[in-house]
């Protein structure tokens, strides 16, 4: 039999994956959409590369949430499918995987599902393509292979068949006998995966994933209130089973733990003064690259520290300090209504005060200095007299993004929550080209202080790029497309985003054509949530690990463009490999 492998099985860029699959003797590949989207090569180029390597493109996947929907959703889904058929034609892939729907738009109606899948198969068949329908084990209405086969049989079209995936079949424990009733030519594709028997239950949750109070999602304050109301006078005791804590420095973990219980008795702590914005971010630089980039982005070297070799760069409300050093974000400073009180709270929470500095501040878990600024700090930076640049539309700082040491991710979230009084947002997880990444932001209620924390889900080894991961500083603009255009014209080192991203964006979210064209022209990325829209673009990595982002939030977009992060990571990685 011919042997294929899905690109999602392997680490690296799409080019790495194809080369590795060919070298191991595979006959074909399944191209996973995200691998293509982050690639700088067009589908036709990838198709040619596969042919050169002796690989057929056996499947394009996944196409989600298609069937059993109202007419308007169906129309949008068919449009989306046609865009993907375009991609498949260029790739030379003849079969598309359609997963059973998990969408809230779908209804429980096998006849409707069959009718709509038949429609999709007609469109596919007209282009010489086929639809392989797969029952996800967690599909909303269709979650067993025999159910998917009943729908395919009812759809009754030569370009419509089933895809059998051993995981989805065997994880459900469904009887296998019905497989024998499917004509072989209607099994369009066979995917194989093994898995350990796992009992993914509350016991596993308890044994591996507990956290110190304030690091997770439990409402422990209410819980504790109930217990204390009984007159309980024994100790508050932490009992936390956590895979990471089990292998990390116990002295640090114990301080983290103590911080968590101190925070539970919040009323006994000095209150957290209000924070009103990012005062500045300090970067350590070892060459001219960052200053040149800031200049090309419209920043002015406005001030120079009285005694230290520290430059103040400014544009709108965004302030960056450049210091000599090893090329990282060395400090973030927040505007505090009462810096001394902020410092007192930090001390009460066992955070190490910084010494030898003129501002009150503490060290964050990753070693970044966190300063509390009042009004006067700018007085340390007499004007350079440099003419004020007209700028490129940057108005302030949106967020600082810091990749955390593997052992200190939850510690960092608790540090910012307790010491600075910020609120942790919901964690997210996404698949980056070299492994999964977990991300969590902390912010204040006004959302003018935002810090994004990131960590690899598994500590990286020799193959996947590990420490130091890039860090970045995101500025705000009220017209990000104009800012991008101006910065392009000024020669800022902006990051180029591949065309595949925009083709996929068109298929997924269908932005107006003129907006899509502008996004594509200036390598601006786009995201959308219930609250609004998000436009953003990036620079290259400057020096060893810092880059800049410029963002525009339209409406109440709450996130940080995590869906686009893998595209950015792949682009940065490519430049690094190319020595760029």
Q: Cβ 413 to a second copy, closest distance in Å?
A: 11
Is residue 411 marked as binding?
no
Is residue 134 marked as binding?
yes
d(CA 285, CA 329): 9
| Residue number with CB closer to a second copy (188 or 475) | 188
Near a second copy in 9-38, by CB under 8 A: 9-12, 16-17, 19-21, 23-28, 30
Stretch that binds a second copy, among 42-50, 120-128, 174-182, 276-284 (CB under 8 A): 174-182
- Under the criterion CB under 8 A, does residue 424 sit at the interface with a second copy? no
d(CA 137, CA 41): 33
- Under the criterion CB under 8 A, does residue 43 sit at the interface with a second copy? no
Stretch that binds a second copy, among 83-91, 179-187, 391-399, 566-574 (CB under 8 A): 179-187
| Residue number with CB closer to a second copy (350 or 508) | 350
| Residue number with CB closer to a second copy (179 or 378) | 179
- Check: CB of residue 326 under 8 Å from CB of residue 337: no
Strand-strand pairing, 423-424 and 428-432 = unpaired
Taking CB under 8 A as the criterion, the residue among 44, 76, 126, 227 binding a second copy is: 227
Taking CB under 8 A as the criterion, the residue among 144, 191, 397, 439 binding a second copy is: 191
- Check: CB of residue 404 under 8 Å from CB of residue 453: yes
Q: Cβ 149 to a second copy, closest distance in Å?
A: 11
- Under the criterion CB under 8 A, does residue 6 sit at the interface with a second copy? yes
- Check: CB of residue 158 under 8 Å from CB of residue 125: yes
Taking CB under 8 A as the criterion, the residue among 79, 128, 246, 496 binding a second copy is: 246
Is residue 278 marked as binding?
no
- DSSP code for 490: T
Is residue 219 marked as binding?
no
With contacts defined by CB under 8 A, how many residues of the chain interact with a second copy? 129
Taking CB under 8 A as the criterion, the residue among 54, 70, 250, 580 binding a second copy is: 250
Stretch that binds a second copy, among 114-122, 213-221, 470-478, 494-502 (CB under 8 A): 213-221
Taking CB under 8 A as the criterion, the residue among 72, 239, 356, 379 binding a second copy is: 239
d(CA 124, CA 244): 48
Torsion of CA 369, 374, 379, 385, to 10 degrees: 80
Q: Of 554, 506, 549, 500, whose CA–CA distance to 34 is shortest? A: 500
Is residue 45 marked as binding?
no
Q: Of 267, 275, 251, 261, whose CA–CA distance to 214 is shortest? A: 261
Is residue 399 marked as binding?
yes
Q: Cβ 412 to a second copy, closest distance in Å?
A: 15
Nearby residues of 375 by Cβ (< 8 Å), 6 or more positions away? none
- Under the criterion CB under 8 A, does residue 4 sit at the interface with a second copy? yes
From residue 158, give the alpha-carbon distance in Å to each of 26, 68, 117: 28, 20, 12
**How long, in residues, is the chain?**
580
Provide the sign of the torsion angle of the four alpha carbons 14, 18, 21, 24, taken in this order: negative
Near a second copy in 436-455, by CB under 8 A: 436
- Under the criterion CB under 8 A, does residue 544 sit at the interface with a second copy? no
Nearby residues of 393 by Cβ (< 8 Å), 6 or more positions away? 298, 477, 478, 479, 480, 482, 483, 486
d(CA 120, CA 124): 6
Binding residues for a divalent metal cation: 134, 165, 191, 239
Binding residues are: 134, 165, 191, 239, 399, 472, 549
């Amino acid at each position: 039999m011919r042997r294929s492998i899905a690109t999602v099985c392997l680490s690296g860029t799409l080019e790495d994956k194809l080369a590795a699959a060919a070298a191991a003797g595979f006959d074909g590949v399944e191209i996973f959409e995200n691998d293509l989207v982050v690639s700088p090569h067009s589908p036709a180029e990838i198709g040619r590369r596969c042919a050169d390597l002796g690989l057929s493109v056996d499947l394009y996947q996944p196409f989600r949430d298609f069937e059993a929907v109202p007419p308007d959703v169906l129309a949008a889904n068919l449009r989306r499918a046609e865009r993907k058929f375009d991609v498949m034609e260029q790739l030379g892939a003849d079969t598309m995987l359609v997963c059973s729907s998990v969408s809230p738009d779908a209804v429980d109606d096998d006849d409707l599902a069959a009718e709509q899948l038949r429609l999709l198969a007609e469109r596919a068949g007209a282009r010489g393509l086929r639809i392989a329908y797969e029952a996800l084990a967690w599909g909303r209405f269709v979650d067993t292979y025999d159910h998917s086969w009943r729908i395919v049989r009812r759809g009754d079209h030569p370009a419509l068949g089933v895809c059998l995936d051993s995981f989805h079949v065997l994880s459900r424990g469904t009887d296998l006998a019905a497989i024998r009733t499917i004509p072989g030519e209607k099994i369009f594709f066979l995917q194989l995966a093994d898995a350990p028997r796992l009992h993914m239950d509350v016991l596993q949750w308890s044994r591996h994933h507990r956290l110190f109070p304030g690091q997770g999602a439990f409402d422990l304050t209410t819980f504790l209130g109930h217990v204390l109301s009984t007159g309980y006078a024994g100790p508050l005791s932490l009992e936390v089973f956590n895979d990471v804590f089990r292998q990390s420095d116990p002295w640090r973990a114990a301080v983290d733990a103590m911080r968590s219980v101190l925070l539970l008795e919040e009323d006994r702590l000095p209150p957290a003064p209000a924070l009103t914005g990012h005062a500045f971010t300090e970067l350590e630089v070892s060459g001219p690259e960052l200053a040149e980039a800031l200049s090309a982005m419209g920043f002015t070297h406005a001030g120079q520290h009285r005694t230290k070799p520290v430059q103040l760069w400014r544009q709108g409300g965004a302030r960056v300090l450049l210091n000599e050093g090893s090329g990282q974000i060395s400090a973030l400073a927040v505007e505090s209504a009462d810096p001394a009180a902020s410092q007192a709270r930090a001390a009460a929470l066992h955070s190490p005060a910084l010494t030898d500095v003129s501002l009150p501040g503490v060290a964050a878990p990753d070693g970044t200095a966190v300063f509390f600024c009042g009004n006067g700090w700018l007085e340390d930076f007499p004007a350079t007299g440099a003419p004020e640049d007209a700028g490129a539309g940057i108005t302030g700082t949106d967020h600082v993004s810091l990749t955390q040491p593997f052992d200190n991710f939850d510690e960092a979230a608790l540090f910012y929550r307790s010491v600075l009084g910020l609120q942790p947002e919901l964690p997210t997880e996404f698949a980056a080209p070299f492994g999964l990444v977990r991300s969590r932001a902390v912010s204040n209620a006004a959302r003018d202080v935002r810090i994004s924390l990131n960590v690899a889900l598994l500590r990286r080894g020799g193959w996947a790029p590990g420490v130091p991961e890039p860090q970045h500083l995101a500025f705000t603009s009220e017209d990000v497309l104009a800012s991008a255009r101006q910065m392009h014209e000024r020669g800022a080192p902006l990051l180029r985003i591949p065309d595949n991203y925009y083709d996929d964006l068109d298929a997924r979210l269908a932005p107006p054509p003129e907006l899509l064209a502008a996004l594509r022209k200036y390598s601006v990325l786009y995201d959308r949530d219930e609250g609004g829209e998000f436009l953003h673009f990036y620079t290259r990595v400057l020096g060893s690990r810092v880059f800049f982002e410029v963002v525009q939030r339209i409406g109440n977009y709450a996130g940080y463009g995590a869906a686009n992060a893998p595209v950015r990571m792949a682009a940065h990685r490519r430049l690094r490999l190319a020595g760029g």
